[in-house]
Structure 1
Amino acid sequence: MKTLRKIALVLSLFSGPAVAGSDPAFEPVIALFSAISKFDHSAMKRSVTDKFELLENGEVWGIDELIAAVPPAEYKRENYYSLISTDVREDIALINYWNKAVFSSEEGTRDVIWLESVVVVKEGGKWVLQQMHSTHVEPKRVPASIAYLEMR
């Protein structure tokens, strides 16, 4: 009976899909987009380093430019992710993922999708974003096989 329980425990540890949020190095990505959804500019700053750079469709932004692009507005944003790959090496991680935002307002709902990569570093024992590369992808170019997970 004990052997059967041990086997069941081991199988449960390895079953189910990998969740991007299960990796602590991905947490600052979730924190940044959660803060964007809440228009919480202070929380946005806490999720990045002082040297943060965002490469956004051919432009180079810092956190101040990103904050300026996210003024309070009358819409709701929900964030979904599909992790492509993660490479964690001590105090640095390289992560590639699909990012989908669902914007809802009185005018309706709209999905916006990006293909993104980030460099995440550990500062003071906490993972924070150092660099992000973001490319907007037209819906017709997004593979149908992508399964997104909502994370807050």
Structure 2
Amino acid sequence: MTRRHTTASISALLVMFVLTSTLRLKAQKATAVDERSITDVVRTLLVALRNEDQTELNSVVTQDFYIFDNGSRFDKDSVMAFMKRLHASGKQIEWNITEPDVHVVGDVAWIAYLNKGTITTGQIKSDQSWLESGFLERKSGKWQLEFMQSTRIPGSVGVPK
């Protein structure tokens, strides 16, 4: 067998190994218990932000959590500071997770959902919708958010930085 054939054979075996491993780890639709637990983690994060509760926020995110939102990258401290600035400017945001789609592979999961809510400034209330997703990790049996993204659906009113 020539060196080229040996390299090709090793490459083919490596590809087969990767494909077999990938198929074995294929994402499964989450069980009802995992779906509820994962959705509750995201709800807890949203409530913590609404209530400016850093301790509650920290309880559901990893140490190196971050979120892409409003055209910026925020870590757990800067997203809380952003919410405090919004509240100080007179804005209140209400979020509601709808249509959650949760998938689990071992100790990692992701959730995608439609967030339907409102932004209220004084007496003016405007309906808003966002497409959001999150990546979670199970540590010591507890789901925690590692990453989130939020994209406002076109036509929604902007939130200042």
Structure 2 counterparts to residues 33-48 of structure 1, below 5 A:
33-48=46-61
Post-superposition offset of 1:133: 1.3
Q: Which has the larger radius of gyration?
A: 2
| Deviations 1:61-92 (CA, angstroms, capped at 9, x unpaired) | 21111011111445554321222521112211
| Deviations 1:8-27 (CA, angstroms, capped at 9, x unpaired) | xxxxxxxxxxx9x9621221
Question: Are residues 62 and 125 of structure 1, via their aligned partners in 2, closer, same or farther at CA, if it must alter by over 3 Å?
Answer: same
Q: Which runs of 5+ in 1 are unaligned?
A: 1-18, 141-152
Moved more, 102-111 or 45-54: 102-111
Other-structure match for 1:134: 150
* Alignment TM-score, normalising by the size of structure 1: 0.68
**CA distance, structure 2, for counterparts of residue 80 and residue 107 of structure 1:** 20
Moved more, 42-51 or 97-106: 97-106
* Alignment TM-score, normalising by the size of structure 2: 0.65
**CA distance, structure 2, for counterparts of residue 106 and residue 56 of structure 1:** 23
Matched AA of 2:147: Q
**CA distance, structure 2, for counterparts of residue 106 and residue 57 of structure 1:** 21
Secondary structure class of the residue paired with 1:69: helix
**CA distance, structure 2, for counterparts of residue 77 and residue 31 of structure 1:** 15
**Structure showing the higher helix proportion among its residues:** 2
Structure 2 counterparts to residues 53-132 of structure 1, below 5 A:
53-71=66-84, 72-73=87-88, 74=90, 76-132=92-148
Secondary structure class of the residue paired with 1:65: helix
Matched AA of 2:66: E
Other-structure match for 2:62: 49
Secondary structure class of the residue paired with 2:46: helix
Same amino acid, percent of matched pairs: 26
Q: Contact 1:25–1:127 at 8 Å: present in 2 too?
A: yes
**CA distance, structure 2, for counterparts of residue 45 and residue 124 of structure 1:** 16
